[in-house]
Structure 1
Amino acid sequence: MSLNQDKSKLSEVEHIKEKSKYLEGTIQDSLKDEVTGNLYAQDQQLIKFHGSYVQSDRELDKERKGQKLEPLYSFMIRVRVPGGIATPQQWQVIDDLATKYGMPTLKLTTRQAFELHNIYKHNLKQTIKEINASLLNSIAACGDVNRNVMNTVNPHTSAVHDAVQEVTRRVSDHLTPKTTAYYKIWVNEDQVVGPDEEAPVEEPIYGKTYLPRKFKITFAIPPYNDTDVYAHDVGLIAIEDNGQLLGFNVTIGGGMGMTFGDESTYPRIGNVIGFIPTENVPDVCEKLVTIQRDYGNRENRKNSRFKYTIDRVGLDFVKEELHRRLGYELEPAKPFVFTTNGDSYGWIQGVNGRWYNTLYIEGGRVKDTERFQLRKGLRAIADMLEGGDFRLTGNQNVVIGNVSEEQKPLVQQLLDEYGLTAHQEVSSLHQHSIACVALNLCPLANSEAERYLPSLIDKIHVLMDNHGIGEQPITIRMTGCPNGCGRPYLGEIGFVGRAPGKYNLYLGASFNGDRMNVLYREALNEEEILETLDPILGQYAKERNPDEHFGDYLVRKELIRHNYSSSDFHHN
């Protein structure tokens, strides 16, 4: 039975959604208010469904408060890219928008989306309108709905990539909210993509109050788990046989967020519950969404993700309810093997004969520096690339994809010209790292992540060099808070910001992403982090088995006590 019988116990966000007229709210009035750079309180919640968050430059807050000014509010816009594949023309548009309206950089997220930062309120509508004109959009990039649907982007790994990508798009389209409010507010008469004028605003899947919390779906194509399939509410693992896509194993109940000191919250990896043929994927995803819609916690948003619903009502109940709603049962899961959740770098020829070059993007931030003209170089490639594409990976990197034999040397010439070939000459530690935005923009951040992790990795790499294992790949994840946007609990080494300059250290996840790490030490500064890791890395260098990854070594030698139950996660 659903928790949500007594409306007096519902969270305030639930009341805002119910009164919003299917996400329209008073956003248009908020945008016209010139007194503040922010929106009305209720619209700050609703605009998330439209793909945007309110932010401020936290480093200026104290100064502005002393001047009796409000914080310097701006907006982040997240652009959905289903399956991570964008055209060169779409890359050009996003790049232009960053220059015209926002921070002159692009952020590639851990969920294969673009983010634009520092968009001021008076430019918000025009920016979203131009995004839509490129045939991308921001609807459902945030909010209590199914968000951007991910997929493995390296087709050289499998002949079935195109088929999986098509299913990814079908699921994304099927679960996109049907409300006309998005187009009414942001696109109006210039609407390029959207429902017909006569289409109803009702939501056949979500209902009037949408989901209790965000919902995330991802596809993965073994042996690569580059989308971290176990970290999502629903995961679809492609099963192929002799180049033919048979269907998908289904995982449910993954999620990375938790709250310090609240033992009712915890990260969780998904459970494999069975196999489905390809044609059933949209239906299964819809029914899982509706189970969360009907049984999810709408009273306490900290306990509202699908993982908590599953643990509260029981995995067996969810499977039985899924079978009841489908009218059939899932088949037994089929065997598969994941070897890594990282990316493969450099040029690789795909099964279609075309070329794919994965580029390392530090922290997912596409920017120019004195040494490397990364943004200018990628823009130059976008300007010349015909028939190719740009593929955003789940590890914040980009693949220049579908490059013809004729264009490959021209792309390589631009990579060399703008210093991007040298930009790739970083350690394997850097190549297997992820960092969220954190300070100074994220209002939830306790400490740095994106701006700090590269220098910390440099120092960890020195330790590894001293022990003779400098090029051993180890996954490292850092976030500025425990909400888990950078999936820190799936890093062999994970850092979660506790306070400025202080991090909780987590150790022991698997290299392929199917086992979480555990808390090892609390609130360490940089010196303490290095002092803690140095002897452990030394032991690993001396005692590891051939081809044994760091996380597996820690578990085998019992240097950490691994809790295999999410509900036993250590919160200190």
Structure 2
Amino acid sequence: MSTDTPNAESKPPKLSAVEKIKDESRFLLGTIGTELVEPSDHFNKDNLQLLKFHGTYQQDDRDLRAQAKKAGGGKAFSMMVRCRIPGGRMTSDQLLAQLDICDQLGNATLKITTRQTLQIHGILKSDLQKTIRRINDMQLSTLAACGDVNRNIMCCPAKRVGSVHADLEKLTDELTFALAPQTPAYHELWLTDDETGEKTLQGGGEVVEPLYGPRYLPRKFKIGIALPEDNCIDIYTQDIGFLAVVRNDKIIGYNVLVGGGMGTTPSAKKTFPALGKRMAFVAPEQAVEVAKAILKVQRDYGNREDRKVARMKYLVANWGVEKFRRAVEEYFGGPLADCTEDDVTEFDDHMGWQEQGDGKWSYGLNIENGRLYDNENHQLKACLRAICHQFKTELRMTGHQSIIVTDIDPADKDKLISIIKEHRVPTTEETSTVRRWSIACVALPTCGLAITESERRLPTIIDQLEQPLAKLGLDKERFTLRMTGCPNGCARPYNADLALVGKAKDKYTVFAGGGWLGHRLAYVYKDLVSDDTVIDELVGIFAAFKANREGNESLGDFCARVGREDLETLAATAPRP
């Protein structure tokens, strides 16, 4: 160990409450089994921390809180269950089975997340084991979809012939396997018929978690894999980003980025959003072991006293990327090469028709905010059921909460579109550009951290923006608009062209100056903007952009160039549509 790298064993950390829960959990077993067979409708606080590792959060419907209190009752508890779906790839049968679960056991909706996976809301505690077992029966898992471990790995979802995309998908699967928790607690709790709740782990001296150890990681951990010409998974927001370096249509290695992360707590100045830093170049055969080495550095040196600053981005920021790299090299067991010049240059959302290179086509269907539901206006679930039954093909979810139907014969293209239209679902071609490039987190009513609306509010905001954008001639302009109900940043707002982040009741912080490439942080344009003035503030930015842009400058580039003060002045004086 080099002299300027801290020794992980030199000073025992003062553990946070969550660290103690993990340490005493018997590798995530806790007393979950006992609580599963008890009649209570909710879990105790210690088990709530452990359940995250198993892929589930306890929630309550906040719309019903006041009503329940008035009636003298408690909270309307339920569980959210999230899958681990590497790279967002799943079969038609798997999606059909997920839709069945959401209809039979959930709240009749399914949510595509910003990490290319699915989550079901409204699962009762009494149905939790049944739900997780059914997910495993369809050859999927919920293990490590949440918690202080490596979570669902993102990868470009485009289906393409050739070794490049095949290698991206291969690395995704290899990393998923290599970085998965090994505890038998998951199988014992959810996949066996023993309902006594008296399970124990008999290690017999065996190392149960050789990679994670009994405390797992200090905080959540995220990985993404992308191409320079297609940063569709927002590689700079990941704890580890693998950016493929391609020469002569072959991946020769990856530029590794470290230390990205979106969450922040505005009241705690020590917290901040961060973009990944370019650390080193690795050959394909080194990628998995380097990922393990990075994870181990975070495991051993990440902050276990204060969860607000426990993400790896704070370790990278405190040490600097060079010192961090030296520690990674020591765990890896050898020196790493410097990054090549390759960096992100484009972003393809893979919506609409795209050729796969094998004579077949994929169709990216925009799903607003990732929510799959049926109502009197349109039937998204029924539409996808019909597509799955008709084509029986592979489906891929995107980092923008949408879905790609693959392997469509040219002769069947009209048939697919007709199914979409029959269910009154807007095609991607009928979707406005601003709506297509927007994403929102769940927020109210189920997220316990939400301060404001997000998923339920963004569609009406876009309704009110479409006409002003058309009048300004900006209706075809590509820019990212993202919205979250709190500063935790689940919809990656801090590197978007524009973003609305919940700050107080019915008030948002407006961010500007990021960009659709995702490699620049936005700045706070205005704070505590009331909900009823959000539209006016955004239209002012658009008007300033229209009147003052240079050449083909993007909205994010324009906002970054002029800066906050000048943008505010320009927005106040620009002609409004």
Instruction: Report the alpha carbon displacement of residue 385 of structure 1 after superposing the two structures with TM.
Output: 2.2
CA contact (8 A) 2:496 2:514 kept: yes
Q: Does 1:380 align with 2:366?
A: no
Shift of 1:354: 2.2
Structure 2 distance, partners of 1:162, 1:102, is 35
By how many angstroms is 1:205 displaced?
0.4
> Counterpart of 1:545?
550
Q: Distance in 2 between matches of 1:159 and 1:428?
A: 32
- C-alpha distance in structure 2 between counterparts of 1:557 and 1:347, whole Å: 37
2:80 maps to 1:87: no
Find the counterpart in structure 1 of residue 433 from structure 2. 428
Question: What do the CA deviations read for 1:117-146 (whole angstroms, capped 9, x no partner)?
Answer: 000000000000000011100000000000
1:209 match = 215
Alignment of 1:24-35 (within 5 A): 24-34=29-39
**Quick check: 2:428–2:436 contact (8 Å CA) kept in 1?**
no
Secondary structure of the structure 1 residue equivalent to 2:246 = strand
Per the TM alignment, residue 273 of structure 1 is displaced from its structure 2 partner at its CA by 1.1
Q: 1:84 to 1:310 in 2, by over 3 A?
A: same
Displacement of 1:390: 0.8
Structure 1 vs Structure 2: percent identity of aligned residues? 36
Contact 2:279 2:322 in 1 (8 A): no
Match of 1:102? Answer: 106
| CA distance in 2 between partners of 1:493 and 1:550 (Å) | 9
Q: 2:451 aligns with which of 442, 446, 454?
A: 446
1:76 to 53, 56, 80: 80
Q: Hey, what does 1:127 align to over in structure 2? A: 131
Report the CA distance between 1:8 and its aligned residue.
7.7
Task: State the Cα distance separating 1:154 from its structure 2 match.
Answer: 1.2
TM-aligned CA deviation for residue 200 of structure 1: 5.2
Aligned mate of 2:353, from 347, 368, 372:
347
Q: Does 1:413 align with 2:404?
A: no
1:556 Cα deviation from its structure 2 partner? 2.0
Matched, 1:140 2:144: yes
Measured in 1, the distance between the counterparts of 2:221 and 2:385 equals 33
Q: Distance in 2 between matches of 1:103 and 1:28?
A: 24
1:323 aligns with 2:323: no
CA RMSD, 1 decimal: 2.3
Residues 403-423 of structure 1: per-residue CA shift (max 9 Å, x gap): 344554443332232233547
Change in 2 beyond 3 A, CA 1:327/1:9: closer
**Where does 1:167-316 land on structure 2 (aligned, <5 Å)?**
167-188=171-192, 202-316=208-322
Q: Deviations over 1:370-411 (max 9, x none)?
A: 23221101111112223x211010110000013344554443
Counterparts of 1:236 and 1:496, CA distance in 2: 28
SS at match of 1:202: coil
- 2:512 maps to 1:507: yes
Q: Is 2:479 aligned against 1:474?
A: yes
Deviation digits for residues 20-75 of structure 1, max 9, x if unmatched?
110011001111121x2111221011000000000000111122123332201100
Query: Aligned residue for 1:54?
Result: 58
Distance 1:3 1:523 in 2: 42
1:524 corresponding residue in structure 2: 529
Aligned with residue 25 of structure 2, among 20, 28, 39? 20
The more displaced of 465-474 and 450-459 is 465-474
Task: Give the partner amino acid of 1:152.
Answer: C
Distance in 2 of aligned mates of 1:3 and 1:23? 23
Cα shift at 1:12: 0.7
- Alpha-carbon separation, structure 2, partners of 1:437 and 1:539: 31
Secondary structure (helix, strand or coil) at the match of 1:310 reads helix
CA distance in 1, matches of 2:207, 2:409: 44
TM-score by length of 1: 0.93
Match of 2:466 in 1: 461
CA spacing shift, 1:199–1:168, aligned 2, 3 Å: farther
Alpha-carbon distance in structure 2 between the residues aligned to 1:416 and 1:531: 34
Normalising by structure 2, we get a TM-score of 0.92
**Partner in structure 1 of residue 374 of structure 2:** 368
Q: In terms of mean alpha carbon deviation, does 351-360 or 161-170 score higher? A: 351-360
Change beyond 3 A, Cα 1:242–1:77: same
Closer, same or farther in 2 for the Cα pair 1:70/1:405, shift >3 Å? same
Instruction: Give the letter for the 1:515 counterpart.
Output: R
Deviations 1:199-245 (A, max 9, x none): 95610100011000000001012311110000010000111122211
Aligned residues of 2:512 and 2:560 also touching (Cα < 8 A): no
- Give the letter aligned to residue 333 of structure 1: C
- The 8 Å contact of residues 22 and 179 in structure 1, kept in 2 or not, is answered as yes
Instruction: Provide the rounded CA distance (Å) in 2 between the counterparts of 1:523 and 1:117.
Output: 30
User: How far apart in 2 are the matches of 1:177 and 1:536?
Assistant: 46
Matches of 2:101 and 2:258, distance apart in 1 = 36
Point out where structure 2 has 5 or more consecutive residues left out of the alignment: 1-5, 195-200, 568-577
Q: Greater shift after overlay, 422-431 or 350-359?
A: 422-431
Query: 5+ residue gaps in structure 1?
Result: 563-572
Question: Secondary structure, in 3 states, of the residue corresponding to 2:154?
Answer: coil
Q: 1:84 to 1:334 in 2, by over 3 A?
A: same
1:483 aligns with 2:488: yes
Q: What is the deviation of 1:351?
A: 2.1
Distance 1:276 1:561 in 2: 42
Look up the match of 1:567. none
- Greater Cα offset, 152-161 or 40-49: 152-161
- Aligned partners of 1:548 and 1:492: how far apart in 2? 12
More displaced stretch, 505-514 vs 423-432? 423-432
Taking the aligned partners of 2:369 and 2:71, their CA distance within structure 1 comes to: 34
**Contact 1:219/1:237 (<8 A) preserved:** yes
- Determine if contact 2:351/2:428 at 8 Å carries over to the other structure: no
Output the CA distance in 2 between the equivalents of 1:293 and 1:561.
44
How many residues are aligned here? Answer: 556
Tell me if the contact between 1:2 and 1:296 (Cα under 8 Å) persists in the aligned partners: no
